[in-house]
């Protein structure tokens, strides 16, 4: 697979990096990455993956664009109100990089639909906004042996964790049980400042590119906590649980 | 074995992008001869190649890089 002159120029600012390479670029070009949700976190995550030249990006979302989304979901425009988010984001991202296959899927991700979506994928980026969906995504990725980048954002705080099933702690290892109902307000109730979603979703894109290209040190067994209020970041060690119902019996993927 | 790359008229950073990719296709011990324009290309490509650990010699407009 040879990069065209246009691709060389489009990706030149990453190809000049000591940490990147033509081989890394070819690895991302051959990858299929599934992004769950093109909202607050999915906006930067999907945008940077498409920008970086990931060959096939699947955008999964069952929602439509609402006015209250736009302060943080900047992949959509005011003209897109009422449109399916998957379609709205796909149109914008195809315009950003026509060389990438962008596939919108208007679908709700749950424990029934997730396994079929992820089979054979290079990586999944979970940009959903509920614990229920995160557990379903985590369990399906563990079952299929697909690497995953998990994250959450709320108010002025955020979390990011990369997961290599069978090799590093999964989301259930880090958070064995969901918080009791009402303990954590949903995004809708608590609100979120747009740039916080930008920071956390950008971290997800960075993790995804590192994992797919095989560069750098991904956040495996390390939970990144980002506090926007005082601009601090903390790394918390997490470990695989030998009795984890999702990943304990998963053999390490190659 | 050696390879040649004519980057006349090519500007930075594309000079280094193309040089790096050409070096990736070579095995250690093989040589790449790159023709570069004076100015920024001839100043920065040899420096970048040395920073990446390769052996570099310069002969006018030709930069010879021994891949390490």
A3–B13: do the CB atoms touch at under 8 Å?
no
pLDDT of residue B3: 93
What integer pLDDT is reported at residue A184 of this predicted model?
67
Burial of residue A98, with CB atoms counted within 10 A of its CB: 0-12 exposed, 13-18 middle, 19 or more buried: exposed
Residue A17 touches partner B, C-beta closer than 8 Å: no
pLDDT at B38: 96
Residue A171: other Cβ atoms inside 10 A? 26
Task: Give the pLDDT of residue A112.
Answer: 93
Q: Residue A187: its pLDDT value, please?
A: 54
Strands A232-237 and A222-227: antiparallel
3-state secondary structure of A227: strand
- Decide if A253 is inside a domain: no
Q: Is residue A120 part of a domain?
A: yes
Indicate the pTM of the whole model: 0.91
CB contact under 8 A, B24 and A22: yes
Contact residues, chain A, for B24 at CB < 8 Å? 21-23
Report yes or no: A162 and A174 within 8 Å, Cβ to Cβ: no
CB A156 within 8 A of CB A131: no
Give CB contacts under 8 A, 24+ apart, made by A187-191.
A187/A40, A187/A129, A187/A153, A187/A154, A190/A154, A190/A155, A191/A155
Reduced 3-state DSSP string for chain B? CEEEEECCCCCCCHHHHHHHHHHHCCCCCCEEEEECCCCHHHHHHHHHHHHCCCEEEEECCEEEEECC
> Which pLDDT value is given to residue A16?
93
State how far Cα A69 lies from the chain centre: 18
Record: contact A16-B21, CB cut-off 8 A: no
For the question of residue B58 being annotated catalytic, the response is: no
Residue A150 sits in a domain whose CATH number is 3.40.50.720
The class of domain B2-66 in CATH terms is alpha beta
In whole angstroms, give the CA distance from residue A12 to residue A9: 5
Q: How far apart are CA A203 and CA A158, in angstroms?
A: 10
Q: Is residue A21 part of a domain?
A: yes
Residues counted in chain B: 68
Give the residue from A2, A11, A17, A22 with the most B CB atoms within 10 Å of its CB, the best one to mutate: A22
ipTM above 0.85?
A: no
Quickly tell me which residue has 């899927």 as its tokens.
Answer: A105
Chain A residue at shortest CA distance from B53: A18
Residue A103 included in any domain: yes
Catalytic residue among B3, B12, B22, B61: B12
DSSP reduced 3-state for A223 = strand
Q: Which residues of B touch A12 (CB under 8 A)?
A: 13-14, 17
- Ranges in chain B, pLDDT < 50: none
Number of domains in chain A: 1
Q: Is residue A95 in some structural domain?
A: yes
Q: Which residues of B touch A (CB under 8 A)?
A: 13-14, 16-18, 20-21, 24, 51-52
Residue-range definition of the domain harbouring residue A69: 5-237
Buried b (16+ CB within 10 A) or exposed e, A130-166: ebebbbbbbbbbbbbbbbbbbbbbbebebbbbbbbbb
**Rounded-to-integer distance, Cα A85 and Cα A90, Å:** 8
Residue B27, Cβ neighbours under 10 Å: how many?
7
pLDDT average per 10 residues of sequence, chain A (254 residues): 91 95 96 98 98 98 97 97 98 98 97 92 96 96 97 95 97 92 63 96 98 98 98 98 93 63
The predicted structure's pLDDT at residue A85: 98
B17, B24, B51: residue with CB nearest A8: B17
Q: Are B63 and B56 in contact (CB under 8 A)?
A: yes
Strand partners for A231: none
Q: Which helix (H) or strand (E) holds A57?
A: strand A56-60
Provide the pLDDT for residue A45. Answer: 98
Give chain A positions within 8 Å (CB) of B18.
8
Q: Is the Cβ–Cβ distance between A37 and A127 less than 8 Å?
A: yes
Does residue A247 belong to any structural domain of this protein? no
CB contact under 8 A, A12 and B20: no
């Amino acid at each position: 697979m040879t990069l065209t002159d246009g691709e060389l120029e489009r990706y030149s600012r990453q190809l000049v990096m000591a940490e990147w390479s033509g081989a890394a670029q070819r690895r991302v070009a051959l990858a299929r990455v599934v992004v769950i949700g093109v909202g607050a976190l999915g906006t930067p995550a999907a945008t940077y993956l498409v920008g970086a030249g990931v060959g096939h990006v699947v955008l999964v979302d069952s929602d439509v664009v609402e006015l209250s989304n736009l302060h943080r979901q900047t992949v959509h425009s005011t003209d897109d109100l009422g449109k399916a988010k998957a379609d709205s984001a796909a149109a914008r991202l195809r315009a950003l990089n026509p060389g990438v296959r962008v596939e919108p899927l208007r679908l709700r991700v749950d424990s029934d639909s997730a396994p079929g979506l992820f089979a054979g994928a290079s990586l999944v980026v979970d940009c959903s906004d509920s614990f229920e969906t995160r557990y379903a995504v985590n369990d399906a990725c563990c079952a299929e042996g697909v690497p995953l980048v998990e994250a959450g954002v709320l108010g002025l705080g955020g979390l990011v964790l990369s997961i290599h099933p069978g090799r590093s702690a999964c989301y259930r290892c880090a958070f064995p049980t969901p918080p009791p109902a009402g303990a954590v307000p949903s995004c809708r109730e608590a609100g979120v400042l747009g740039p916080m979603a930008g920071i956390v979703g950008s971290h997800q894109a960075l993790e995804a590119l590192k994992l797919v290209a095989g560069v750098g040190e991904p956040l495996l067994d390390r939970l990144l906590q980002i506090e926007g209020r005082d601009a601090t970041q903390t790394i918390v060690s997490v470990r695989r649980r030998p009795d984890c119902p999702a990943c304990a019996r998963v053999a390490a993927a190659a | 074995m050696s390879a040649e790359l004519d980057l006349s008229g090519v500007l930075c950073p594309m000079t280094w992008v193309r040089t790096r990719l050409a070096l990736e296709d070579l095995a250690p011990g093989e040589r790449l001869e790159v023709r570069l324009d004076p100015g920024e290309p001839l100043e920065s490509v040899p420096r970048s190649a040395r920073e990446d650990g390769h052996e570099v010699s310069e002969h006018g407009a030709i930069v010879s890089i021994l891949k390490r």
